[in-house]
Structure 1
């Protein structure tokens, strides 16, 4: 790997050279002449591709509603989490940070609770102002994603402003409501927190956060089950009447 240090950096492929950006630096590498893949590497590449597509879908659903900056490692962190958690382990997304430097627990001491009816409850607590902030903004983002069709079927947001008077501010608690229309397999709920001074957002990367706090799976459809009464068991045979004999031999009647 070589680091590109020029006035006109670029990304992409140029001949047998690939330029890419990693951790804010422009790097170069050469294209291998031949790539040998085994069955294991093909399976690993398939899993990584599926995780990358899922991560991209989540980012595209959330990032348009975010008002804070994300870190440069967001793509790799999210893809790695999905890859390690497994294909259907959506609950592992909870607590994921879009700003890798800090989380909402830096600003919100009591954990918010999200219910399936679309309500986010923020408990009563005391907020701490950073850099003499005058206002704190809490935003809840909910989006519904259908991974089968790879579509974002609905999104909704709600906003709450809290004045900060002094270093510490008492808060009585509040409920925020979001309504996500459409059909989908997953509802991802993100809480974003940032502080303001003179109506400008404080630029310190530790003064804002955006975390996934809840993942709600679509409830499986209930299948109607028809109960069939079992046939009544015959406990005794019908009683046969005695038949008179003819010519000394018994007469057998056929039913």
Structure 2
């Protein structure tokens, strides 16, 4: 490993050399002549590829609609969280994303310097309506926590809809609700349009604002801005009796249906390997 000391520094491949950056320093190394991978390392590499591709899709979907500033560590932290979702799959040799396993993302914080529980003193309730839209019910609050110089706090909900195939994602947001500091707030509901056939990660975002001459300015202090996944909703499928089930639940119910018995019938049940 060599340090780049020239005026022009680079990252990436240049001939047989690879430049990379660690912190504020630039380093250089040569490409290996041959890379040998075991079957396990190949599986790990493919899993990382799946996680990083979905992680990039989620981050790109949130660009422009999330008010909190993006953290430099977000990409790596989100990729690790998605790898944890993949590793919960114990049915396939090559790990796959399973809708119900995305619940492991609940509690993931996009802002590591401020937790949502520090700014929001109540627990929101997340549900879907009949059209698949997401409703976030925020109970009444006696006191509001925010920046010491803030005159208002803004609360809004976002939904990242992970499309079937788990390589693409879209994001929608609710209208923000402004609450005045120093006053109690009544209960309210945030509505986010969402796709009923997608896994939806619901994010609640709280930011601090200051009013000056009738205009609102966001206070850019990362200790008083939080964005956290508060719920993950599985995709909806229609079912008799107006009851909705996720795809996994519907498949499980189909397999649990009792098989009709006929006299003299012999049933062979091959064991799972």
Q: Tell me the TM-score range normalised by the shorter chain.
A: 0.7 to 0.9
1:140 is displaced (CA, Å) by: 0.9
- Corresponding residue of 1:251: none
Q: Evaluate the alpha carbon distance shift between residue 186 and residue 108 of structure 1 in structure 2; reply closer, same or farther with a 3 A threshold.
A: same
1:49 is displaced (CA, Å) by: 1.0
Q: Evaluate the alpha carbon distance shift between residue 229 and residue 173 of structure 1 in structure 2; reply closer, same or farther with a 3 A threshold.
A: closer
Q: How does 1:1-255 map to 2 (within 5 A)?
A: 4=4, 8-23=8-23, 26-86=26-86, 87-88=97-98, 89-117=101-129, 118-125=134-141, 126-148=143-165, 150-152=167-169, 155-165=172-182, 169-180=183-194, 182=195, 184-197=197-210, 198=212, 199-220=216-237, 222=239
8 Å CA contact retained: 1:114, 1:121: yes
Unaligned runs of 5+ in 2: 87-96, 240-249, 264-273
Q: Evaluate the alpha carbon distance shift between residue 189 and residue 15 of structure 1 in structure 2; reply closer, same or farther with a 3 A threshold.
A: same
Aligned equivalents of 1:204, 1:6: Cα separation in 2:
36
| Secondary structure of 1:79 counterpart | helix
Which structure has the highest helix share of the two?
Answer: 2
Larger Rg: 1
Cα offsets for 1:211-248 (capped at 9, x unmatched):
1111111134558x99999899xxxxxxxxxxxxxxxx
Cα offsets for 1:151-208 (capped at 9, x unmatched):
346634321111113xxx422221112222x453311211111101243221221111
8 Å CA contact retained: 2:62, 2:171: no
Cα offsets for 1:121-178 (capped at 9, x unmatched):
111122123232111111111232213173346634321111113xxx4222211122
1:83 is displaced (CA, Å) by: 0.9
1:84 is displaced (CA, Å) by: 2.0
1:9 is displaced (CA, Å) by: 4.2
Unaligned runs of 5+ in 1: 233-255
8 Å CA contact retained: 1:145, 1:184: no
8 Å CA contact retained: 1:23, 1:72: no
| Secondary structure of 2:113 counterpart | coil
Aligned equivalents of 2:186, 2:173: Cα separation in 1:
25
Question: Scaled by the length of structure 2, what TM-score is found?
Answer: 0.72
Aligned-residue CA RMSD (Å):
3.0
| Secondary structure of 2:221 counterpart | coil
Which structure has the highest strand share of the two?
Answer: 1
